[in-house]
Structure 1
Amino acid sequence: MRSILYYFLIGIVISVVTVSCDREKYELTDRGITATIDSIDVNIQFYSPEIVRIVKSKAGFEYEKNSLSVIKTPEVVDFDIHENEGNLIISSEKILVKLNLATAELSFSNGDETPLFTEKKNGSGFKSKLDLGTKTYAVKQSFKLDPDEKIYGLGQLQNGKMSQRYQEVKLFQDNKVTVIPFFQSNKGYGLFWDNYSTTVFSDNKEETFFESEIGDCIDYYVMTGGDADGVIANMRDLTGQVPMFPYWTYGYWQSKERYKSQDETVGVVKKYRELGVPLDGIIQDWQYWGNNYHWNAMRFLNPEFPEPQKMVDQVHDMNAHLIISVWASFGPKTEQFKVLDEKDMLLDFKTWPPRATNRYPVKPDDKPSGVRPYDAYDPEARDIYWNYLQKGLFSYGIDGWWLDSTEPDHLDIKDEDFDNETYLGSYRRVRNAFPLMTVGGVYKHQREVTDDKRVFILTRSAFAGQQRYGANSWSGDVITDWDVLRKQISSGLNFSLTGIPYWNSDIGGFFVWNYPGGVNNKAFHEIYVRWLQFGTFCPMMRSHGTDTPREIWQFGESGDWSYDAIEKFINLRYRLLPYIYSVSWDVTHNASSMMRALVMDFAHDKNALDVDDEYMFGKSLLVAPVTEPMYVKTEKEDNKYINPVEDFSQIGSKSVYLPDGTQWFDFWTGEEFKGGQNVEKDVPIDIIPLYVKAGSILPMGPFVQYAGEKKDPVELRIYPGADGKFVLYEDEGDNYNYEEGAYSTIEIIWSDKERELTIGKREGEFPGMSDSHTFNVVVVEEGKGTGLEVAEPLRTVIWKGDEEKIKL
């Protein structure tokens, strides 16, 4: 394989090549080649041996494209180039691109020449248009995929589909829809369409295409990887790696729309502590700033919050943390509005809240709120935003940000709304990247202020590259319904398959319209419990919603079925924290994913490729949430569940597919199953189907009241039947010293044949690190080492940092 340098040395010979038919020319560049074919400029650029960028534009059209998502500096890549039967073949070690010199059609293969996909003949489209008086184009590129190929991603569409084949969808950010123009295939490649305007994705038997409303050029990246993890690793290499969240963020979060006073907010934390139910986070929702004219003032103007520092201190004194609602828009009586308006840094379209007074039904004399979003594309506007955020909220020691409406909300949409001129051109041109810009502004500014507190952002929307900004997205204001619950699963998995690993949903659904009486309706209890079980196995476990309260005591008291089930799964979440935090390190350090569609680990199993209601949580746990009612019978009238009647006389069940290629253990019973089959699992109200892959080493911590209370003893559950390895990760929990190497890892290895467990030597160190660990070792079998409760250990090891081998 010849290097770029080689071609420059003989460039006078081959920099211009005559093509036998059309007398077209191509030129070598330091990254690949450029060519002009049939009035289209084609630029093929290698970013790494596994990533290639394709840029097409109308010949002679001058423009400048600076990606908002891509931050990778292209590597120096060795590539080979030759002609064959009218095609130009450009190949690195990992990916091969074939350019038809007559039609400009491209096709892609792995480095071993295994075909991936092709562009459709005459599939590049440019339609001239003016945008704010500037010449540009609507752009389209069509591709041909294999008929039986599965593709995943596109963001969070909430369509209930796992594979995203055979549909047409408008990619436009919205409350419950997060769009990311990226998909990956079960064939082991990914495609990122780098465009920020409204885009149509369409797939049918004839073609698959992206068509964007505005684009100076067609611009897309193709990446190989061999499997889903490899593709995601390359997407992160291209658009940014994932920082660590604080340890405490993986505990349980309580929220509602909304706590109306600081006494109420603090009182919720106190009540959890009194009940002995674990809690790590409380969320303060909107209107702590007062009325809508002061919307998002980033100040405690509401008289019900007279001593904000006291409120924050009281929460911290109970070993809990507080995040607070902040929006991407401002009311007309805020200081921010005045400053931004003077600098022409506000967008002019109708956003939430539309009226000065939030009341229903709306009255004819209700006045408009005057709230307007800010120009998040403008670096100075982002500076202004942070300066007020720091002064008004961060200075109190608030622990994180609930960045709401980061699409942002766009009500009563009119075409002229998109003529708003932003720092980067028309709003039409950059609309879908708004969340990336506003979330990124907060992350970057906080990192500039301090590295002592990790950035934690909960946000309602996202775009490609947002994983680099310490953000956990949620699925928007979903309604409480069983079908919606099921759709959350595939939504979160497809979102994660775009390379953004942190996602969650409002446990119980945001709007409880379909359950009259809310928490007083026992049918709501059932769906809430099942949603909370699902939430236990999401990257963030957060209860939230409107219409009805969600705190555990709203569901009765100890001994009531819903209360007990909720308490059980909150405790299970805390017992799994050593596993979850170590998985989070794998996400950061090895570009892994926490919520894993079955295609990620079982791409060889055709039966696993389109399963939409199961997933892996980390690489050991298979989760199959219950998504239908079983124990509270209701009547349904006008889509509302009424006249609930409890009936626990029969135990319901759920069919679960166990992927092929491994043995599986029922987490609750220890019963062992062969993969490649469906099993019927009994699911009483306090059980979710949960299976552990053979060869897994599952670390479980002690019962605690908050994440940082204590870490020992650690129960090591060994699931025999295959060799296994687990890396237990630890650090200080809430700063960025890990970026400088202040952390430790312990490699734990299970030899199934020898029945020997090796607890490796500790690698690394950090301030405050414990000198030892107490490990209680359990080999799981039927009836032993199962469920929530602490198991009787086979061996107890007081480990002091050196390697220990344990025969079992």
Structure 2
Amino acid sequence: MQKIRVSSVMFIGSMLLYINVSGQVKDNAQTNSGIEIPIQHSASGIKKIKLQPLSDKIIHVTAIATEKFPDDKSLMAVKLSDDAVKFTTTKSPDQVTLSTSSLKVDVSTKTGLITYRDSSGKVLLAQTKNEGLSLIPKVFSGEPSYQVSQLFDAQENEAYYGLGQHQQGLVNYNGRRVDLVQYNTEIGVPFFVSNKGYGLLWDNYSITRAGDIRDYQPLTALKLFSKEGDEGWLTATYTSKTDPDKVLLKQPISELSINWLTDQHKFPSTVKMQDAVVHYEGAVASELEGLYQLQLKYAGYIKVWFDDKLVADFWRQAWNSGSAILDLELKKNKKTKIKIEWIPDGAESYLGLTCLPPLPKSLMNTFALSSESGNAVNYYFIQGANADQVISGYRTVTGKAVLMPKWAMGFWQSRERYKTQDEILSTVKTFRDKKIPLDNIVLDWSYWKQPEWGSQQFDPERFADPDGMIKSLHKQNVNLMISVWPKFNKGFDIYDKLNEQNFLYKRNIADGRVDWIGKGYSNTFYDAFNPKARTAFWELMNKRLYSKGIDAWWMDATEPDMHSNLPVEIRKDLMNPTYEGSSTTYFNAFPLVNAKGVYEGQRKVNNENRVFILTRSAYAGLQRYAAVAWSGDIASRWEDMKTQIGAGVNFSLSGMPYWTMDIGGFSVEKRYENPNKEDLEEWRELNARWYQFGAFVPLFRVHGQFPFREIYNIAPEGHPAYKSMLYYNKLRYRLMPYIYSIAGNTYHHDYTMMRGLMMDFPQDLKAFNLSDAFLFGPSLLINPVYKYKERNREVYLPSGQGWYDLYTGKYFNGGQTIKADAPYEKMPVYVKEGSIVPTGPELQYTSEKPADPITLFVYTGKNASFSLYEDEGTNYNYEKGAFATIDFNYDENTKTLTVGSRKGSFKGMQDSRTFKIVVITPKSARALDFNQKVNQSFTYSGKAVTIKL
């Protein structure tokens, strides 16, 4: 290969090397701006490709169908350093290669296909040789655009993670279709991490598909057989809900597509939906054998059987339908019996069933990305030796994950909803009286006068003295988070002011839709893409809420969800046009710019106290705006609890370290509202198990509809549920030195708190697909119990090290599946061999007292290390270097623990403190007992200490 000469030099910000592939050798480029490569005969529609190294491990790729590259404007990416990135370029007859110290990027000058290799030449990622269209011209709202796609080869045993938060119970997306579209409970983030040493950030804001991007087919893609064996349809039988033997209607059906409000006419007009139970029965078959993935959309109660085996048993409230993926393996022309039982939820409910047939050979072992609209193929390839390095690269591109206030790591109490000032104050008083730890209480929607949604003002009849209420909460060391929607009702002054400035979306008003509150009110959302509208939104929040002492923001319905249960095409109409352009082009980015306005607005007003935002939707880059996502309006069901595990793991693997959920689930079946004895006990056990799980995710937060969610309202003192919830609440606070340290690492070292097992055990193939376990920080293996009355569960202990039972200290070898004890009051948690877990004193709130003494639980058998992180807890001085770390290192060979010299300092730092040490070995189990006799205790004054254990 020969060195490429520069035939001409273009300047875009700083020097950009333009490669004329027929030129002679003249120079090597040593800038960070990269190279442009003309493509000769690509069938993909690509005419030019630009490669820009942002570091030795990050390559920004832009491919266009025109001669001129678009402006480097990005909502998700931040301005990058101008420091030069060293690279070289070489050329062979049909290929250009850009090389950094870590990567080699080969570009075919004939086809435009790109291959990424590490410095040794090993292929990390390659575009599929079967070239297809990458840029298809489109027009949206009069703006020229392209449908943008790329297809890549998948390696053997490759696994894909991230892509936001989804509720299908999957962790590894290899061979799956993932829809990146914002929806209540579904968050689309166009970033994935591969277990093969790289990740990819797709810089596009439109609705995107990832993985298997084929269209779902209607049910008629399969051979259908009626209950009686006739080919061509299934048998639908509608019976009375109150009289099961009474048949209301029986008919053939070959389509299940009551997916949205606009589909309600597909239900038989002669039957009232709210009065019916529907059974769909028959069989399916196909000449094409293989795995069929059936997408089920549902509201109400749904059960599905394949060959009499129950494969789905779900419930979801009608105003926010759920979805699931059901795998069906078919043999050639062999019938599989199918039965579906659907009990709709009221007069409007939803049921849809579509399928993805088996992959054709041409698409096997591939992974694709395809977006509705964009002006170029635009993505960042990120290399990393492990998932943490890849996520660090993602944050290099999109911004640091700012550190949340320490109080946010404590317990949050919420419900839908506290209706008065007295309810808020009496709840906090009860927590303090009962000695239940608490740091934050949440005031949900409708604290305003009913017609004035968007006023950001308290209703004086129910909140007579909000300033006094907030001061009272602060005196009790409780923070107040308040719900703020991007929604404004028509008919009062704030709406008129925003409308006059053209800050509001118009369509929902023009269509005449009303919401579900009271008589129903005409409403719409503001255009968060407009910087002046964002400023106006923040100024309203600041004047009417923040100035009163509000501590944090709950940004609800940020998909945006202007009217629930509308198909996405209508949802796009409702936010069209945005300030930036077509809603098709910018649909997914609303939650990002909405959080941006609040974060930047508050920091301008008060650059001392940390911003904190809870948002129902998210997009790449959200972590830089102090925003946490939660998993939306999930149901209070065991299966929903289980799907939160994969949802949280993949959201965390999407580069955003802070995630939470409604502990106990949000939407509640009617059987729990006025329960019989059995249902009451199930409700209590469900909440106890969910609390156990929730104590080990980044934010520990309870929320949901009636019944009330305070632990004393769920179960009386002395009940196993109450005792368990209180135990895990107190344990969370005991673990605060551990938790706040790993939170500090999210900023300082781009760490991830809630960790998929592939992050720490990349060589353990069995860990790749586990969707019911995760690591919390480096040491704690969390195994939620998600089945009613289950008193043990199978737990896989990853290979490569042993594991200790957290509660007893009993040692187990790794690489095995065990049946772990799971009594009512305990969830199986295991500690990785070679761990140091710091714990602090019992607390009622995070700032009650210093973390002194700290007890170090040292789990021996391998070398261990941990870095204790501390700062002032509520301000931004950590960005200026005001923080301290203490490194702990245990050496297994010498049986010594070294406590390193303290590094750094901050205002209020303890100069002297006590460390206690509890040693756990494979042969000497020690229970998790904070009052037990310790192995050693010593006073630490900041200088290094080495202790023989």
| 2:66 maps to which of 36, 39, 59 | 59
CA distance in 2, matches of 1:656, 1:675: 11
What secondary structure sits across from 2:723 in the alignment? helix
**Do the aligned partners of residues 440 and 758 (structure 1) sit closer, same or farther apart at CA in structure 2, a change above 3 Å counting?**
same
Partner of 1:638: none
Q: Is the 8 A contact 1:19 1:86 kept in 2?
A: no
Is the CA contact (8 Å cut-off) linking 1:515 and 1:523 kept in structure 2?
no
- Secondary structure at the aligned position of 1:173 is classed as coil
- Counterpart pick for 1:329 among 487, 492, 506: 487
1:559–1:28 Cα change, 3 Å = closer
User: Of 124, 133, 143, which residue of structure 2 is paired with 1:134?
Assistant: 143
Counterpart residue number, 1:793: 934
CA distance in 1, matches of 2:480, 2:929: 28
Aligned partners of 2:507, 2:757: CA distance in 1, in Å?
42
- Provide the C-alpha distance between the structure 1 equivalents of 2:829 and 2:817, rounded to a whole number of angstroms: 14
SS in 2 for 1:231: helix
Relative to the length of structure 2, the TM-score reads: 0.78
Deviations 1:477-535 (A, max 9, x none): 00011111111001111111111010010000000126433677211111111111110
Q: 1:719 to 1:84 in 2, by over 3 A?
A: same
Residue number in structure 2 paired with 1:807: 948
SS in 2 for 1:294: coil
1:595 paired with 2:751, answer no
Matched residue, 1:644? none
SS of equivalent to 1:257? coil
Match of 1:702 in 2: 841
Alignment TM-score, normalising by the size of structure 1: 0.92
**Number of the residue aligned with 1:363:** none
In structure 1, stretches of 5+ residues that fail to align are: 21-25, 360-365, 632-651
Aligned-partner SS, 2:709: coil
- Choose the corresponding residue for 1:458, options 614, 620, 631: 614
Residue 409 of structure 1 corresponds to 561
Q: What is the DSSP-based 3-state SS (H/G/I as helix, E as strand, rest coil) of the residue aligned with 2:37?
A: strand
Establish whether residue 559 from structure 1 lines up as the match of residue 718 from structure 2: yes
The equivalent residue for 2:162 is 153
Contact 2:18 2:36 in 1 (8 A): no
2:785 is the counterpart of 1:778: no
Q: CA deviation at 1:786?
A: 2.3
Change (3 A) 1:569 1:371: same
Q: Note if 1:487 corresponds to 2:643.
A: yes
- Cα gap change, 1:523/1:29 in structure 2, threshold over 3 Å: closer, same or farther? same
Amino acid at match of 2:585: R
2:707 aligned to 545, 548, 564, which one? 548
Task: Give the aligned partner of residue 76 of structure 2.
Answer: 69
d(CA) in 2 for partners of 1:594 and 1:405? 25
1:339-361 superposed Cα distances (whole Å, 9 cap, x missing partner): 221111111344999645536xx
User: What SS is found at the alignment partner of 1:549?
Assistant: coil
1:296 and 2:454 matched: yes
What letter matches 1:806 in structure 2?
I
Query: Relative to 1, partners in 2 of residues 1:531 and 1:87: Cα closer, same or farther, differing over 3 Å?
Result: same
Contact 1:40 1:56 in 2 (8 A): yes
| Distance 1:12-1:444 versus aligned 2 partners, 3 A rule | closer
Aligned mates of 2:811, 2:32 — CA distance in 1: 56
Does structure 1 retain, via aligned residues, the 8 Å contact 2:445–2:483? yes
1:383 to 526, 535, 543: 535
Distance in 2 between residues matched to 1:380 and 1:357, nearest whole Å: 30
What secondary structure sits across from 1:418 in the alignment? helix
**Which residue of 475, 483, 498 corresponds with 1:340?**
498
> Is the partner of 1:120 in helix, strand or coil?
coil
Question: Which of residues 378, 382, 393 in structure 1 aligns to 2:545?
Answer: 393
Query: Aligned partner of 2:149: which letter?
Result: K
> Which residue of structure 1 lines up, in the alignment, with residue 106 of structure 2?
98
Structure 2 gap ranges (5+): 213-358
1:447 aligns with 2:603: yes
Q: 1:17 aligns with which of 10, 13, 21?
A: 21
Pick aligned residue for 1:604 from 749, 763, 777: 763
The CA distance in 2 between the partners of 1:487 and 1:235, in whole Å, is 25
Q: Report 1:70-469 matches (<5 A).
A: 70-73=77-80, 75-84=83-92, 86-121=94-129, 122-203=131-212, 205-206=363-364, 207-291=366-450, 293-350=451-508, 355=514, 358=517, 366-367=519-520, 369-411=521-563, 412-413=566-567, 415=569, 418=572, 420-469=576-625
Higher mean displacement: 153-162 or 518-527: 518-527
Contact 1:4/1:79 (<8 A) preserved: no
What does residue 36 of structure 2 align with? 34
Q: Distance in 1 between the 2:32 and 2:691 partners?
A: 53
Partner of 1:720: 860
Residue 783 of structure 1: how far off its partner (Å): 7.2
How much has 1:555 moved relative to structure 2?
Answer: 2.6
C-alpha contact (below 8 Å) 2:591/2:618 kept by paired residues:
yes
The range that moved more, 462-471 or 167-176, is 167-176
Quick check: 2:754–2:776 contact (8 Å CA) kept in 1?
Answer: yes
Q: What is the SS of the residue equivalent to 2:588?
A: helix
Note closer, same or farther for the CA distance 1:356–1:49 as it changes in structure 2 (3 Å cut).
closer
Alpha carbons 2:30, 2:85 under 8 Å: kept: no
Q: Distance in 2 between matches of 1:592 and 1:417?
A: 36
* Aligned amino acid, residue 418 of structure 1: K
Correspondent of 2:807 among 668, 679, 682: 668
Q: Are positions 1:582 and 2:741 aligned together? A: yes
Distance (Å, rounded) in 1 between the aligned partners of 2:833 and 2:615: 36
**Offset at 1:417?**
5.3
Aligned residue number for residue 691 of structure 2: 532
Report deviation, 1:141: 1.6
Whether contact under 8 Å (2:30, 2:87) holds in the other structure is: no
Would the aligned equivalents of 1:518 and 1:524 in 2 still touch at CA under 8 Å? no
Q: Rate the CA distance shift 1:667–1:12 in 2: closer, same or farther, 3 A.
A: closer
Q: 1:800 to 1:2 in 2, by over 3 A?
A: farther
Residue in 1 that maps onto 2:337: none
Q: Report SS of the residue matched to 2:374.
A: coil
Secondary structure class of the residue paired with 2:898: strand
Partner Cα separation in structure 1 for residue 9 and residue 143 of structure 2: 41
1:414 Cα deviation from its structure 2 partner: 6.6
Of 694-703 and 748-757, more deviation after overlay is shown by: 748-757
The CA distance in 1 between the partners of 2:924 and 2:489, in whole Å, is 60
Amino acid at match of 1:131: F
CA contact (8 A) 1:262 1:305 kept: yes
Report the Cα offset of residue 134 of structure 1. Answer: 2.2
Deviations 1:438-464 (A, max 9, x none): 011111111111122111111111000
Letter in 2 for 1:194: D
Identical columns (%): 38
Change (3 A) 1:2 1:595: farther
State the Cα distance separating 1:777 from its structure 2 match.
Answer: 1.0
Aligned equivalents of 1:487, 1:416: Cα separation in 2:
28
Q: CA RMSD in A?
A: 2.6
**SS across alignment from 1:16:** coil
Report if aligned partners of 2:3, 2:89 keep a CA contact under 8 Å in 1. no
Contact 1:3–1:78 (8 Å) recurs in 2: no
- The answer (yes or no) to whether the contact 1:124–1:142 under 8 Å persists in 2 is no
Aligned equivalents of 1:497 and 1:33: distance in 2?
Answer: 31
The amino acid of 1:70's aligned partner reads A
